[in-house]
Chains A and B, each alone.
Chain A
Amino acid sequence: MNLTLKIWRQKDAKSKGKMVSYQVNDISEHMSFLEMMDVLNEQLINEGQEPIAFDHDCREGICGMCSMYINGEAHGPDRGVTTCQLHMRSFKDGDTITIEPFRAKAFPVIKDLVVDRSAFERIQQAGGFISVNTSGNTQDANAIPISKHAADEAMDSATCIGCGACVASCKNASAMLFVGAKVSQYALLPQGQIEATDRVKNMVAQMDLEGFGNCTNTGACEVECPKGISLENIARMNRELMKANL
């Protein structure tokens, strides 16, 4: 298939960017979206132009690195997939595809389609962990009884790969689905109880400090999340914060 691509080009974090159009031909419908981008980059390199910078790593939908806003949706039009899992069969010959970086003040553009998502790391560092004494007398985690329901729910929350699609999709650039998932995965387990109060307070405070917007429950994040993280996680975070403050 032959496609027209409108792509955000930005030299570096300080430069002003703009949308630039490219033509790519003979794209196989079996290619992944990133492979199509590789073809374009090869073409640009052969023409002596600067290739388009974009994030990617595992290309298996696990690492959460790929981060494109494709035709007005994070990770493109398909549901439950990251950009690397999106295939060109989701598009038609002759289509014009708009490709932009994830947009949020807290996710500044570094170059072209690459954004700095270290705000998520700082939120995690503020409380997204449990402190375990590794002196040698550590209790075996399997010795702590956990109900199947709680274990499943915690696992569902833990599947968040931190890609930032929730922020990118939200009209308010809110990070509450991400933070909700990270708070929930510990709030649901006995190991997470001891630090529960500090965790939710510190993570929410860091989230606010990073300049993310506020959730207005539009639900865009849940729809666009490649891992199907539900709004229930935001409700649970709200409950945890109220509990921590009352």
Chain B
Amino acid sequence: MSGLFKSSIGRKVAMALSAIFLMIFLLQHFAINILSVFSADRFNDVSHFMGTNFFVQFLLQPVLIFGVVFHFVMGFMLEIRNRNARTISYAKNNGSANTTWMSRNMIWSGLAILAFIVLHFIDFWIPEINTKYIQGDVSGLLPDGNFRYFEELQHKFENPIRVGAYVVAFVFLALHLLHGFASTFQSMGAGSMRRAKLQAFGKAYAIIIPLGFIFIALFHYFNH
């Protein structure tokens, strides 16, 4: 088993496994965020549960952080090895003749997503950790006795710069997923028949989920 992950293909499989994990996480994140469009109370309840549940906070959250870091580190290592595999570039290379823009630029769409995740950490995760584990307030309540989650969410999306950054980041996520989804299953060895179906599903996932996140941001921007 350890031999597998020493090989280039093994690292590809590891990359794909972390991608599957992150895509499942993204779906779950979307499912919770979209609640904020339909019901503030339901969004508050689920957010409070996710923010205070021991299993989510101390088991799933570290696994998620590991998954994100692992995916990026492996991606960078892959990029470095691949750049070293061709030390002299072509004078003329017609990449668009045989590949999509998305497939050729995974590192750049990935870096844009990484930049967003860093911002998201500063914007959301660090204040959450500060409130809950440094100030010790795990009540999830505002001074008026209501849950803080929905109000904080609406407050975040008042700033048009933040909303703009959010939209741009999710466009890059869509571009990343448009290649990444099908690529994941190719790396896992999915056969051509299965891959064709996954490709269609992947395209839908890559467009609907990021578009959904953009919708949530714009919805709150225009309805606060």
Contacts and interface: CB of A to CB of B under 8 A. Distances in A.
Interface residues of B, number: 43
Contacts of A246: 1, 4
B65 interface: no
Contact of A174 (B3, B82, B84, B89): B82
B135 interface: no
A215 B81 CA distance: 11
B79 to A, nearest CB: 9
Contacts of B84: 105, 211, 213
B75 to A, nearest CB: 10
B4 A245 contact: yes
A237 B103 contact: no
Secondary structure at the B interface, as helix, strand, loop or mixed, is: helix
Nearest to B106: A216
Interface stretch (A42-50, A85-93, A200-208): A200-208
Nearest to A223: B98
Nearest to A232: B192
Interface stretch (A31-39, A71-79, A125-133, A142-150): A71-79
Given A103-B86, A235-B191, A216 B91 contact: no
B7 interface: yes
A72 B97 CA distance: 9
A216 B92 contact: no
Contacts of B183: 216-217
A201 B195 CA distance: 24
Interface stretch (B8-16, B24-32, B148-156, B166-174): B8-16
Contacts of B10: 241, 245
Interface in B77-99: 78, 81-82, 84-95, 97-99
A106 B85 contact: yes
Contact of B91 (A6, A171, A235, A241): A6
Given A169-B98, A171-B99, A235-B189, A19 B12 contact: no
A204 B8 CA distance: 8
B182 interface: yes
Contacts of B191: 232, 235-236
B187 interface: yes
A214 B82 contact: yes
Interface residues of A, number: 50
A41 interface: no
A241 B4 contact: yes
A39 to B, nearest CB: 22
B52 interface: no
B214 interface: no
Contact of B13 (A77, A174, A242): A242
B4 A235 contact: no
Contacts of B92: 71-72, 98, 100
In the complex, which of the residues B9, B104, B182 has the most CB atoms of chain A within 10 Å of its own CB atom?
B9
A223 B92 CA distance: 18
Interface string A209-246: 00111111111100110000011101111110110011
A100 B89 CA distance: 10
Contacts of B179: 217-218
Interface in A53-92: 69, 71-73, 77
8 contacts: A8-B91, A72-B97, A104-B86, A214-B82, A218-B98, A235-B186, A236-B189, A238-B13
